[in-house]
Amino acid sequence: MLVLQARLASRRGEFALAAEFTAESGSTLVLVGPNGSGKSTVLRMLAGLSRPDAGEVRLDGEIWGDTSAGIWRPAAERSVGWLPQDLALFPHLSAIENVAFGLRAAGIGSAAVARARDALRALGLDRELERKPAALSGGERQRVALARALVVEPRLLLLDEPLSAIDPAARAALRGLLKRVLAERRVTTVYVTHSPLEALALGGRLAVMHQGSVVQEGMPTDLLQRPRSEAAGAFIGTNFFRGTLEKRDGSGLVAIRTPAGELLAADPGLEGEVFVAIDPREIVLSRDAPSGSARNVFRGRVVEIAPEPPRGDRIRVALATRPPLVAEVTREAIEALGLTEGAEVHAAFKATALEAYQ
Amino acid sequence: MRPGPVFARIAGGTAIGAVAAFLLLPLLALVLQVRPASLAAELAEPAALDALRLSLLSSAAATIVVVVLGLPVALLLAARDFRGRRIVETLVALPMVLPPTVAGLALLLAFGRAGLLGGALSLIGITVPFTTLAVVMAQVFVALPFFIGAAAAGFRGVDRSYLEVAATLRASRPYTTARILIPLTLPSLSAGAAMGWARALGEFGATITFAGNVPGVTQTMPLAVYLRLETDFEAAVALALVLLAVSFGVLLAVGAGPFALGRARAAGAPR
């Protein structure tokens, strides 16, 4: 079976890791979650640099680790390319010698420099290869580290926040390069990031981590529309509730009762417990009671008004309604309504804006 | 300097002045005592030149042995935790605090004619005491901890992620040690070697106890200085000045002074 399978459990003081996920061979799995959710620890265990209390790692059927059988191969006996967050470029070696290191270690003497140069050129670096890392720009350092990891042709590539040290202006270009390289090389990759924006921009399968566990795995669109946990909902910034489907009255609408209030939805044809997601952009705010066709109307105070990065022309408005909602509106709308924190507003959305699923 | 109460400033200034005077005054006295004519005459003396040559050669040999033997021990001490590690560290540091004459006596009891290994060594025709070999052995014994301490601290200061990346690139431990660990620790290693060398050059007590005082064979500079004190005071002072100048020059050249005072920074220290 051509997949990466991982099941990792460990406990360090208060922090418990219990993560399980798979990735298809040759694809990129984006491990995304807030800082401290255990993403880097997972990478270290995949790399063979740390050992879980219990767990299993298999790549394409080959056992890299199986604690129940007492197996946990060290890094040198796996085949991984690991980019730690700080890159750890060898400071005393030139860019080209950093890349050639793994080849020389494998006994490839004379061809090492030529292959290292090719690897760097493939990432768009062909000048000043004799420079030490300290004399390179952030983006150049990133390319050198990536070339160093790729040149030994690892079977598993592990990237830990590869764009976090890059200034925002250069980030998009480097992300594009990464996407292209990962697609071309078809090397199985686990890509760690804390940024939902970056995770979505990569376009691959996502696994959302929260407090040491993978809370949801899936494609970006699925995750965006149908989060399956409070953590996943909060992470992508959507309104997420758990509820129970109630009475059908033949009008095509159903009531969903959540612990914090009742919502009206288009009949999803389901029974019992459901998840509910409401896109914050579907929620309309007004000072007076709305007169339109929206079936869900709630009244409450504005708790917080927060501009959305990167441009701040979209504003997120957190409301103390029942249930609590977050709306995303334009700056113009805020100004037109004269909204301030503490103001009373009505939040309205259509029954069809509400996604109910199991 | 931050402005502070006048009293604190005066107290601080006085302490600094006292330390400076205490360290520099004896050196100054030594320098002032030397007459250029006697310095030149003494340096032309074959016995003095023999002592100088023996000192430089034996301390150089001892430094090489110290580095070769000390590197693996320092790597072991820096690399991992093992049972009895504190005991090993304490044993390694012991020669630093042991009175050198006690060290010399212990060496004599181990390698001397009547010592633990003396019988076995004489069977294969080796006599250690009162030879130049004994001089080097005494110097190695007292100099090792200086090098091992500095090297282990240097190795421990290297950011672990360099070694981890090397492991993911499937480099063997010896390869990583040779190409990453040692190059990144070079400042600590050279400073440690220089301090060990300086300690070997100044070795007196263990040498005279274990190796004796045979001119041209075991009479190093410190021994020559001490013995001339009784016969030719001016010559002793001249030799002392030469020893002082050589030590100062080497420590300055490799920057071991700042290191000994904890100001050095390893190239691979965590950022």
pLDDT tens for each residue of B51-92:
999 999 999 999 999 999 999 999 999 887 788 888 888 898
Helix (H, G, I), strand (E, B) or coil at A43: helix
How many Cα atoms are found within 13 Å in the side-chain-facing hemisphere of A297? 12
User: Cβ separation of A101 and B161 shorter than 8 Å?
Assistant: no
Q: What is the pLDDT of residue A267?
A: 85
Asked if A49 lies within 8 A of B168 by C-beta distance, the reply is: yes
Question: Which residue in the block uniquely carries the two structure tokens 């292209």?
Answer: A180
- What HEC string does chain B produce? CCCCCHHHHHHHHHHHHHHHHHHHHHHHHHHHHCCHHHHHHHHCCHHHHHHHHHHHHHHHHHHHHHHHHHHHHHHHHHHCCCCCHHHHHHHHHHHHHCCHHHHHHHHHHHHCCCCCCHHHHHHCCCCCCCCHHHHHHHHHHHHHHHHHHHHHHHHHCCCHHHHHHHHHCCCCHHHHHHHHHHHHHHHHHHHHHHHHHHHHHCCCHHHHHHCCCCCCCCCCHHHHHHHHHHHCHHHHHHHHHHHHHHHHHHHHHHCHHHHHCCCCCCCCCCC
| CATH 1.10.1510.10 applies to domain B41-260 | no
Separation of alpha carbons B271 and A197, rounded Å? 29
pLDDT given for residue A72 in this prediction: 95
Question: HEC string of B185-246?
Answer: HHHHHHHHHHHHHHHHHCCCHHHHHHCCCCCCCCCCHHHHHHHHHHHCHHHHHHHHHHHHHH
Contact indicator for B35, B237 with CB cutoff of 8 Å: no
Instruction: State the pLDDT at residue A135.
Output: 93
Instruction: Locate the chain A residue with the closest alpha carbon to B176.
Output: A105
Closest residue, chain B, to A78 (C-alpha): B168
Q: Which residues in chain B have Cβ-Cβ distances shorter than 8 Å to A91? A: 184, 267-268
Poorest-pLDDT segment among A151-155, A338-342, B68-72: A338-342
Residue in chain A nearest B166 by alpha carbon: A102
Of A80, A84, A148, the CB nearest to B161: A84
pLDDT of residue B150: 92
Cβ atoms B151, B188 nearer than 8 A: yes
What Rg, from alpha-carbon coordinates, does chain A have? 24
Average pLDDT over residues A340-355: 90
Which residue from A minimizes the CA distance to B159? A88
Reported as a pLDDT band with limits 50, 70 and 90, residue B193 is very high
In A, minimum Cα distance to B162 occurs at A88
CA dist B125 to A227, B113, B121, B216, B239, Å? 84, 11, 6, 22, 36
Q: Indicate if ipTM > 0.85.
A: no
pLDDT at residue B267 is higher than 50:
no
Supply the mean pLDDT for chain A.
Answer: 89
Residues of A in contact with B183 (CB under 8 A): 92
Task: Report the interhelical angle of B36-43 vs B233-254 (nearest 10°).
Answer: 80
Decide if B167 and A49 are in contact by the 8 Å CB cutoff: yes
With H, G, I as helix, E, B as strand and everything else as coil, classify residue A9.
strand
Looking at chain A, list the stretches that DSSP marks H as alpha helix, in order from N- to C-terminal side: 39-47, 95-105, 112-122, 138-150, 168-185, 196-202, 220-225, 230-236, 331-337
Q: Where are the domains of chain B?
A: 1-33, 41-260
pLDDT at residue A201 greater than cutoff 70: yes
- Mean pLDDT computed over A92-106: 95
Residues in B whose CB is inside 8 Å of some CB of A read 159, 161-162, 164-172, 175-176, 179-180, 183-184, 267-268, 271
* Band of pLDDT at residue A28, cut at 50, 70 and 90: very high
The predicted pLDDT at position B261 comes to 60
Grade residue B204 by pLDDT with cuts at 50, 70 and 90: very high
pLDDT for B11 beyond 50: yes
Query: Does the structure show a pLDDT above 80 at A1?
Result: no
- Rounded mean pLDDT, A304-310: 83
Which residues in chain B have Cβ-Cβ distances shorter than 8 Å to A84? 161, 164-165
* pLDDT at site B268: 47
* Residue among B167, B175, B184 minimizing CB distance to A92: B184
Which pLDDT band, with edges at 50, 70 and 90, does B270 fall under?
very low
What number is the average pLDDT over the span A66-71?
94
Given a cut of 80, is residue A44 above it in pLDDT? yes
> Which residues face A315 on adjacent strands?
A307, A329
The percentage of chain A sitting over the pLDDT mark of 70, rounded to a whole number, equals 100
The mean per-residue pLDDT over the stretch A168-189 comes to 88
- Which residues in chain A are closer than 8 Å to B171, comparing Cβ atoms? 76, 101-102, 105
Instruction: Considering only the beta carbons, identify the residue of B165, B167, B171 that sits closest to A74.
Output: B167
Q: What domains, with CATH codes, occur in chain A?
A: 3-230 (3.40.50.300), 237-357 (2.40.50.100)
pLDDT band at residue A134 under the 50/70/90 scheme: very high
A225-258 pLDDT tens trace: 888 888 888 877 889 999 998 877 777 888 899 8
- What's the rounded mean pLDDT across residues A177-188? 90
Q: Is the confidence at residue B271, as pLDDT, over 60?
A: no
Q: Which residues share a beta bridge with A32?
A: A193, A208
Q: CA–CA separation, B144 vs B98, rounded Å? A: 13
Q: What is the per-residue pLDDT for B266? A: 46
**Residue A352 pLDDT level (bands cut at 50, 70, 90):** confident
- The answer to whether residue B253 scores a pLDDT higher than 50 is yes
pLDDT band at B117 (very low <50, low <70, confident <90, very high): confident
Which carries the bigger pLDDT value, residue B68 or residue B47?
A: B68
Residue A309 pLDDT:
74
Q: Which of A45, A64, A82, A153 to mutate to test the interface with B (most CBs of B within 10 A)?
A: A82
Least confident range of A66-75, B152-161, B245-254: B245-254
- Tell me the residue type at B159: D
What pLDDT score does B256 carry? 62
Burial environment of residue B228 by CB neighbours within 10 A (0 to 12, 13 to 18, 19 or more): buried
Region for residue A70 given its phi and psi (left: phi exceeds 0; alpha: psi -120 to 50; beta: otherwise):
left
Give the separation between CA B201 and CA B212, rounded to whole angstroms: 16
Point out the residue among A80, A102, A149 whose CB comes nearest to the CB of B171. A102
Which pLDDT score, from 0 to 100, does residue B263 have? 52
- Tell how far CA A155 is from the center of its chain: 22
